[in-house]
Structure 1
Amino acid sequence: MKGRVAYLEELGVDVAKVVNQLPQVFGLRMENMKGTVAYLEELGVDVAKVVNRLPAVFGYSMENIKGTVAYLEELGVDVTKVVAYLQELGLDVTKVVNRLPPVFG
């Protein structure tokens, strides 16, 4: 438990908010949390901002997120710009993409 709290603090995350919105964080595997953070960093997003707004990101399937990102890239979309824009709006990228008409997904 202390390891997860320290890790979240290192990221600059509001630990109380994350625990309040995602109490399961204490049951998550550290390697999965670190994998999520690494992928978010790879996308060039502000990890603390994303986790503070959407703590559930730690529970998302990285396979699904990577698939969505790969699909957008195939369409020629600059994923970093899309993610940054949705992040500024406080929107969950996965939910937005899942709402696209079947022709897009």
Structure 2
Amino acid sequence: MNTSRDLRHHAHHGNPLYTAADAESRLDCLRRAGFDEVEADKVFLAVDLPSIEKIEQKIGALKSLGFENPVKMITSLPAILGYAIDNIRGKLDYAGHFGIDGRGIVERFPPLLGYNLDRIRLCVRLSLPLIDPWEMSLSFLITRDPATSVAAALLSRPETLKALRAAMRLRAGRPGENHDVIARHPGDKLTLAYRRYRPVAPREKAR
């Protein structure tokens, strides 16, 4: 099945200016790397693919970092082809500093590579009171709403990930109460981190 001539004109493709030869060469490169037809088409449609040389370099670099199945990772998150290897290495090194298997976590949850390193650091700080190392590694995934995580941690100082999640559920949907949290803990490192990630709007005056 030759899909390149269709894909190059696809309305959702990042670069509709591919020639048929450009499209086919990039698809062939993905297939040679181990992507099947469906996976290659998915990646082709999802991102503006770099040159063949850069695709090969990125896959090789991921392998050199210890990832056993770059094809699976890229299929899950095609944007990885555009991530800087130094940035990926920095996140893995940071995880290793805490004795966390960053590679294992990323292989199970590739979108983590798209998170800002400062955001990951915030999650690590939140995880430090956690007892179980496995819970500590799971806390890397608590990044969807850092402000809520911070508010929960400040209020409850949870000792387990389960407790933190429970506190987050209680805090979800009630951002206005975060003013009270900040007022009680203005100098706390977590409060300062909170302000960095989500500035708090002024409290509305009572009518």
Q: Normalized against structure 2, the TM-score is what?
A: 0.41
Q: Kindly provide the amino acid, as one letter, of the partner of residue 124 in structure 2.
A: F
Q: Kindly provide the amino acid, as one letter, of the partner of residue 56 in structure 2.
A: K
Structure with the bigger RCO (C-alpha within 8 Å, sep 6+) is 1
What's the RMSD between the two structures over aligned residues? Answer: 2.4
Listed one character per residue, the Cα deviations across residues 49-105 of structure 1 (whole Å, up to 9, x for unaligned) are 11111111111111211111111122222233222332xxxx412235643353738
C-alpha distance in 1 between matches for 2:74 and 2:108: 16
Structure 2 gaps of 5+ residues are 1-21, 126-207
Does residue 7 in structure 1 map to residue 29 in structure 2?
Answer: yes
Aligned to 1:31: 53
C-alpha distance in 1 between matches for 2:75 and 2:40: 8
- Asked whether the 8 Å contact 1:11–1:47 carries over to 2, the reply is no
- Asked whether the 8 Å contact 2:26–2:52 carries over to 1, the reply is yes
Q: Kindly provide the amino acid, as one letter, of the partner of residue 81 in structure 2.
A: F
1:54-93 pair list within 5 angstroms: 54-86=77-109, 91-93=110-112
- Asked whether the 8 Å contact 1:68–1:97 carries over to 2, the reply is no
| Aligned residue pair count | 98
- Asked whether the 8 Å contact 2:73–2:107 carries over to 1, the reply is no
In structure 2, the CA distance between the partners of 1:85 and 1:16, relative to structure 1 (3 Å rule), is closer
SS in 2 for 1:102: helix
C-alpha distance in 2 between matches for 1:55 and 1:17: 8
In structure 2, the CA distance between the partners of 1:100 and 1:79, relative to structure 1 (3 Å rule), is closer
The percentage of aligned residue pairs carrying the same residue is 21
Judging by fraction of residues, say which structure has more helix: 1
Measure how far apart 1:30 and its partner are.
Answer: 2.9
Does residue 53 in structure 1 map to residue 76 in structure 2?
Answer: yes
SS in 1 for 2:100: coil
Q: Normalized against structure 1, the TM-score is what?
A: 0.73
Moved more, 92-101 or 65-74: 92-101
Does residue 95 in structure 1 map to residue 152 in structure 2?
Answer: no
